[in-house]
Amino acid sequence: MIYFKDGKFLEEDEVHVSVNDRGYAFGDGVYEVIKIYDGALYTAQEHLERLIESAEKIRMAMPYTIEELGEIIQKLQTENEITMGHIYLQVTRGVAPRVHQFPESIQPVVVGYAVENERPMHYLQQGAAMKSVEDVRWLRCDIKSLNLLGNVMAKQEAFDHGCQEALFVRNGLVREGSSSNVFGIKDGVLYTHPANNFILNGITRRVVLQLAKNLNIPVEEKEFTLPQALEMDEFFYTSTNAEITPAVTIDQQPIGQGVPGPLTRKLQVAFDAQIPMLVASGNVEERESNGPAS
Ligand code: PSZ
């Protein structure tokens, strides 16, 4: 596998990061994950724009333009011949002797790498289980920061309870998943948390809101409580990796009929339909003819 670091494309055994890298010492950096479907980068522009926004929010000057970042991720895909997988871009504030404040004239360190993986078909089809977890993260969840301890602890707590994703609740309000955004459907209306400092404004979230608009599904970007979430007719979580994953239980309580719901299925079909490879492979019709699970 070929890696990118600071302007060079290197083999795994040639790529090294410093113990004095502030990403390692403080989690002082930002990152992005970009999906590859059939060798094509999906919503890369949106991810790169968000990377630059995240960097600005932590007062870090990105050493590359969007165009240059686009070329880097494209080369990681082609050199590694990734057909299905992800590209990770990580940018840290740089290397300097350990002090908390920003060291003077420090240069950001940019690392990029690719991983191959399959779509999570089992959970896309059967649905997943969520576990509510108190959201004890900081208050800038809009930044895609390398500080992921709150997310890691929550995901592990969900896994410890046999669930696939955690559901963050802060001040009684449902915020997002540990690595996803969440949506509920009640009486035909799609509810999701507004894009503010309490959540990451997911690229998949934005795609889903556009698909809902196209399908004339009414949308309310409004907070709701955990008891309200449990009373939803349908629930799902979204991310670059999870796409639109139905959540069929929360805290072991079935949502709706405890199976993926019809509007969730409709959104999944619409999601697949905007990805050329999924249309070509017949995946879209297949899921359509399967219909909502019952
Ligand atoms: O492969 C991985 O580990 C991934 S792929 C996407 C994520 C992790 N996380 C995205 C994410 C997140 O970490 C939080 C806290 N909220 C929402 C999301 C969804 O963002 P998008 O849709 O842009 O991936």
Which of 118, 151, 179 is the endpoint of a domain?
118
Domain count, the chain: 2
- As given in the structure block, the two tokens for residue 158 are 């969900």
Task: Say whether both 249 and 175 belong to one domain.
Answer: yes
Determine if ligand 1 sits within 6 Å of the CB of residue 132: no
In this predicted structure, the answer to whether residue 292 has a pLDDT above a threshold of 70 is no
In this predicted structure, the answer to whether residue 231 has a pLDDT above a threshold of 60 is yes
Task: Say whether both 128 and 106 belong to one domain.
Answer: no
Mean pLDDT of the chain: 95
Model pLDDT for residues 91-145, shown as the tens digit of each residue: 999 999 999 999 999 999 999 999 999 999 999 999 999 999 999 999 999 999 9
What separation in Å is there between the alpha carbon of 25 and the centre of ligand 1?
Answer: 23
Residue 226 — φ and ψ, nearest 5°?
Answer: -65, -45
Model pLDDT for residues 170-200, shown as the tens digit of each residue: 999 999 999 999 999 999 999 999 999 999 9
Q: What mean pLDDT do residues 230-242 have?
A: 98
At 289, the pLDDT band (50, 70, 90 cuts) reads very low
pLDDT value at residue 277: 74
pLDDT value at residue 279: 76
Determine if ligand 1 sits within 6 Å of the CB of residue 54: no
Determine if ligand 1 sits within 6 Å of the CB of residue 106: no
Task: Say whether both 95 and 169 belong to one domain.
Answer: no
Neighbours of 18 (CB within 10 A): 14
Task: Say whether both 100 and 186 belong to one domain.
Answer: no
Give the predicted TM-score (pTM) of the model. Answer: 0.95
In this predicted structure, the answer to whether residue 293 has a pLDDT above a threshold of 80 is no
pLDDT value at residue 283: 61
Residue-number span of the structural domain to which 13 is assigned: 2-118
CATH number at residue 247: 3.20.10.10
pLDDT value at residue 134: 98
Determine if ligand 1 sits within 6 Å of the CB of residue 200: yes
Residues of 90-101 as b/e, b for ≥16 C-beta within 10 angstroms? Answer: bbbbbbbeeeee
Q: Which of 53, 240, 245, 271 to mutate to test the pocket of ligand 1 (most atoms within 8 A of CB)?
A: 240
Which of 91, 118, 145 is the endpoint of a domain?
118
CATH number at residue 109: 3.30.470.10
Name the percent of the chain lying above pLDDT 70. 95
